[in-house]
Amino acid sequence: MAIIKRKFDAVIVGAGGAGMRAALQLSEAGFKVAVITKVFPTRSHTVAAQGGIAASLGNVTEDNWHWHMYDTVKGSDYLGDQDAIEFMCRQASEVVYELEHFGMPFDRLENGKIYQRPFGGQSQNFGGAQATRSCATADRTGHALLHTLYQRNVQANTQFFIEWMGLDLIHNEQGEVLGLMAMEIETGEVMLLHAKVTLLATGGGGRVFQASTNAFINTGDGLGMAARAGIPLEDMEFWQFHPTGVYGAGVLISEAVRGEGGYLLNKDGERFMERYAPNARDLASRDVISRALTTEIREGRGCGNNADHLLLKLDHLGENIIRTRLPGIREIAIRFAQVDPINQPIPVVPTAHYMMGGIPTNLHGQVVAPYKTGPEEVIQGLYAVGECACVSVHGANRLGTNSLLDIVVFGRAAGDQIAKDLRKNLHHKPLPITVADKTLARLARLDGQKNGESVAQVGDLLRQTMQTHCGVFRFADMLKQGVVKINEIAERVAHTEIHDKSRVFNTARVEALELDNLIEVALASMVSAEGRKESRGAHARDDFPIRDDDKWLKHTLYFSENQRLDYKPVRLKPLTVGSFLPQERVY
């Protein structure tokens, strides 16, 4: 197959907040930038971020970056790298004011300053009173951010390749990354983008779980590309779950329902949260409730024919309260659960929400790995930012509204670092003759496969297996079986068949290629979770219920080759202030 080749200074994969913030930095500096994106940029999953962007502006209550840093380290259950966390929290105010200057329409206080709202996990004075730190544009902060960044990028002549899918990184024998193989979804045409630098900003891979709040596009494409190129994935055992996603659909039912007096029931009609959290009951923290739901299901008290979900009851609140205070929730229940909560409880299940792990980077967005001699050597030519990266500011658990901050701070930092590197390194490195072979072989395999497996069926099995064996609450035997099962599924992924071989907008082909990425995310998560013999943040093990800092205050690195695990120390030393040493995490 003849492949078209094009040259760019920088190729960015993904046009969410992280990719577009980096692209803007580079285009404005005059570099030739290509941004590859599966969907129109303003339809990236960043659009789903409602809560806001955390920054210690102190517009409502007194605040400073050091308090924000403390909250983030504590929230991460001490697994976050404190140099990166200091870097992020110190830059937060500056990046928010910069967005304001770009034209982002933040909500305002009466005095004209940016409005801020309080969020869980935010404190004043290192664990004191509630802080008010999240800057928002109503419930559309992500939407406003994407539109602002897209407009600026258009003005700065960033070149977007819309409805293109990144397939594989290309590299030479020394492991230097030389660009990307990509496919135009409209035509099926494959292109080689030869670049001085490549930035992965492909977002999360939450679609590996059967119950997921993530949009269908979140298939971990950057992680799949990295794993296939021999690059490790960091801390993939850490997934944040929300306790009440609609059973079968994943759409979130917000905590507001339980705040109004709704509560959870098992199949016996028992209000089971009373057993797990006698005081807070249905208002306990997300991870506590998620674990309780999972235990009820595992012990046979789940509801429905498969005993695989619980019920959220709110009919006792009365029609009037439901109609006036919870109209959006009622709408979601009717549409996605086919129940009207005025009469019937809503079936719910803990639902995967955010991936804390990802491609290991330093705070300049450079991808780092134990590559030649050191544990964190820079891989030449490759950068990663956003949910697909692990810098690691979220550690074992992310705080609300720190994700938008992450993508803007590190998107900008990566843009700056790339600009610096491009100024030093003026030439494209030569391409090995065989550079496209692996990708073309993968496409040819898919086109030529006979008597193969259905992409949808294997994908469903993958998602069920992750949900059952690597969900909220993890059990030794289930993880061990899970590793075997997910490897069997990986074998089947290698033999998928698509019946539609046409070139034009072939969604079946795209989904088969996405499954190649999902399986890498699933393998990394299952193997890493089986390996970590403690409970920390979002990783909760039945057999090791306690955090073990002596043995496990370290990051996991998963290598797809031989599914090898390695570990590296947590960076406990911040840039300028003293370390926050591990303490028991109590809220």
Question: Which sequence positions are flagged as catalytic?
Answer: 286
Q: How far apart are CA 42 and CA 274, in angstroms?
A: 43
Query: Which residue, 347, 360, 409, is CA-closest to 89?
Result: 409
Query: Which residue, 232, 576, 579, is CA-closest to 375?
Result: 232
- Cβ-based nearer residue to other proteins, 113 or 140: 140
Query: Which residue, 468, 452, 257, is CA-closest to 342?
Result: 257
How far apart are CB 254 and other proteins at their closest, in Å?
13
Between 473 and 502, how does the x/- string for binding to other proteins read (CB under 8 A)? -----------------------------x
- Cβ-based nearer residue to other proteins, 170 or 246: 246
Question: How many whole angstroms from its chain centre is CA 388?
Answer: 6
Number of residues that bind other proteins (CB under 8 A): 35
Q: Would you state the structure tokens that stand for residue 80, as one six-digit string?
A: 């976050």
Q: Give yes or no for residue 137 binding other proteins (CB under 8 A).
A: no
Q: How far apart are CA 359 and CA 392, in angstroms?
A: 10
Question: How many whole angstroms from its chain centre is CA 147?
Answer: 20
- Cβ-based nearer residue to other proteins, 394 or 509: 509
Q: Give yes or no for residue 460 binding other proteins (CB under 8 A).
A: no
Q: How far apart are CA 437 and CA 339, in angstroms?
A: 52
- Cβ 429 vs Cβ 178: under 8 Å: yes
How far apart are CB 181 and other proteins at their closest, in Å?
20
Q: Give yes or no for residue 39 binding other proteins (CB under 8 A).
A: yes
Q: Give yes or no for residue 46 binding other proteins (CB under 8 A).
A: yes
Backbone angles phi and psi of 249, in degrees to 5: -120, -40
Q: How far apart are CA 40 and CA 339, in angstroms?
A: 33
Q: Give yes or no for residue 334 binding other proteins (CB under 8 A).
A: no
> Which residues 212-271 are close enough to bind other proteins by CB under 8 A?
212-217, 249-251
Which region among 284-292, 418-426, 436-444, 503-511 touches other proteins (by CB under 8 A)? 503-511
Task: Look at residue 211 and give its three-state secondary structure.
Answer: coil
Q: Give yes or no for residue 143 binding other proteins (CB under 8 A).
A: yes
- Cβ-based nearer residue to other proteins, 39 or 317: 39
Q: How far apart are CA 527 and CA 445, in angstroms?
A: 27
Which region among 72-80, 210-218, 371-379, 438-446 touches other proteins (by CB under 8 A)? 210-218
> Which residues 394-433 are close enough to bind other proteins by CB under 8 A?
none
Using the rule CB under 8 A, which residue among 30, 105, 318, 328 binds other proteins? 328
- Cβ 196 vs Cβ 381: under 8 Å: yes
Orientation angle between helical segments 402-424 and 17-28, nearest 10 degrees? 30
Using the rule CB under 8 A, which residue among 154, 456, 477, 505 binds other proteins? 505
Provide CB contacts within 8 A for 188, sequence distance 6+: 502, 503, 504, 506, 509
As a whole number of Å, the CA-based R_g of the chain is 23
Which region among 80-88, 140-148, 416-424, 435-443 touches other proteins (by CB under 8 A)? 140-148
Which region among 139-147, 397-405, 449-457, 564-572 touches other proteins (by CB under 8 A)? 139-147
Q: Give the interface with other proteins as residue ranges (CB under 8 A).
A: 38-39, 42-48, 140, 143, 147, 163, 185-186, 212-217, 249-251, 328, 331-332, 335-336, 502, 504-507, 510
